[in-house]
Amino acid sequence: MFSELIAGTMRWGIWGANHSERKVQELIEVCLEENITTFDHADIYGNHTTEELFGNAWKEMKIDRERIQLISKCGIVMNSEKKPSTLKYYNYDSDYILNCVNESLSNLKTDYLDLLLLHRPSPLMNPEEIAKVFETLKAEGKVKEFGVSNFSVSQFELLNQYFPLVTNQIELSVNHLDSFDNGTLEQLMIKKLRPMAWSVLGNYFTSNSEQNIRLKKIIKKLCEKYNANENKILLAFILKHPSKIIPVIGTSKVETIRKLKQSLLLDIETMDWFKILEASRGTEVD
Ligand SMILES: NC(=O)c1ccc[n+]([C@@H]2O[C@H](COP(=O)([O-])OP(=O)(O)OC[C@H]3O[C@@H](n4cnc5c(N)ncnc54)[C@H](OP(=O)(O)O)[C@@H]3O)[C@@H](O)[C@H]2O)c1
């Protein structure tokens, strides 16, 4: 149902590249050429403006709605010019979720979302109330599937008891490997669900930490061995996990989208995978 790579739009608008509508159309075109048909949004991206930027762009392209899948997220209340708030907090009250979805549909210029994610877990989440809202949204045809993001194993399990979830979108990269040890990936595998991963490049390109110095040493060698760039090796590391992780790629550049697509074909050897794991952890396995 979702493409093997998902295009993350968080940095396409004013939280990143500040692309024009025309440039967003170019990115969408390239994604579709590369069979990246799923686009990841959240109500808050670009201070509540990026969904609208995307919506205006894709609507003019006259793309068949069935050809793309739109994901959005709700639950984080944050201050912006468009939606002022005196506090950043989480809200999963029925009315709030319903209102968020209606706004996302209007901004994205669509009748339905393929997937709605609860953006962050909140101590105040009431699974029964949330399940009722999900049922309403599904019955109205406004949302096809539901999932969560950044949920722990028990938080996922709780909500899933009330309503069948289809994924947990989690942070996962060579710099952030908690999900290898905290049961999240196994939980989804048991349920035959595919995880989605955000920030798959981690802080590899933006921090000179000891961890990254170790990682760069090994990854640069692997670039030569596999005739690949660092982005591809970073992605190939995640893609080798048997839980069939779907990476949400965050680039705002046409050429990087094309290059990353080729990572799907790169299967690094098991020993090389463990070299990266060792560099990430800073210790060899027991
Ligand atoms: N569920 C959640 O809580 C959550 C949280 C955060 C993000 N997300 C989703 O995940 C998506 C991806 O997140 P992300 O943007 O953090 O992911 P990412 O793919 O790890 O990072 C993308 C950033 O790295 C830069 N980059 C790529 N290759 C580079 C290189 N070789 N050297 C230096 N910089 C490089 C990109 O710049 P260019 O644009 O110039 O290529 C872009 O700024 C978001 O768009 C969003 O949809 C979800």
Q: Which residues line ligand 1 (CB under 6 A)?
A: 8-11, 16-17, 40, 119, 149-150, 169, 198-201, 205, 231, 248-253, 256
Confidence at residue 35, expressed as pLDDT on a 0 to 100 scale: 96
């710099």: which residue's tokens?
175
Confidence at residue 120, expressed as pLDDT on a 0 to 100 scale: 98
Active-site pick, 45, 90, 162, 204? 45
Confidence at residue 31, expressed as pLDDT on a 0 to 100 scale: 97
Task: Identify which of 15, 119, 199, 206 to mutate to test ligand 1's pocket (most ligand atoms within 8 A of the CB).
Answer: 199
251 CA to centre of ligand 1 in angstroms: 5
190 phi, psi to nearest 5 deg: -60, -40
Residue 265 DSSP symbol:
G
Neighbouring CB atoms inside 10 A of 39's CB total 24
* Residues forming a β-bridge with 116: 72, 146
Q: Which pair of structure tokens corresponds to residue 65?
A: 């709605």
3-state class (DSSP) for residue 191? coil
pTM: 0.98
Residue nearest atom 21 of ligand 1, based on CA coordinates: 250
* Number of alpha carbons in the 13 Å side-chain half-sphere of residue 191: 18
178 CA to centre of ligand 1 in angstroms: 19
CA-230 nearest atom, ligand 1 = 31
Residues of the chain with pLDDT under 50: none
113 CA to centre of ligand 1 in angstroms: 22
Residue nearest atom 28 of ligand 1, based on CA coordinates: 231
CA-200 nearest atom, ligand 1 = 20
Residue nearest atom 16 of ligand 1, based on CA coordinates: 199
pLDDT single digits (tens) 84-102: 999 999 999 999 999 999 9
Confidence at residue 262, expressed as pLDDT on a 0 to 100 scale: 83
Residue nearest atom 12 of ligand 1, based on CA coordinates: 250
Confidence at residue 29, expressed as pLDDT on a 0 to 100 scale: 98
Domain architecture of the chain: domains with CATH: 6-166 (3.20.20.100)
- Give the H/E segment covering residue 259: helix 254-261
Confidence at residue 264, expressed as pLDDT on a 0 to 100 scale: 86
Q: Distance between CA 220 and CA 75 in Å, rounded?
A: 40
Q: Tell me, yes or no, if 96 is annotated catalytic.
A: no
**Total length of the chain:** 286
198 CA to centre of ligand 1 in angstroms: 8
């952890």: which residue's tokens?
281
Neighbouring residues of 113: CB distance < 8 A, sequence distance ≥ 6: 70, 71, 72, 101, 104, 105, 142, 143, 144
- Give the H/E segment covering residue 234: helix 230-239
264-268: long-range pairs with CB below 8 Å, 24+: 264/4, 264/5, 264/239, 266/226, 266/228, 266/232, 266/233, 266/235, 266/236, 266/239, 267/236, 267/240, 268/222, 268/226, 268/233, 268/236, 268/237, 268/240
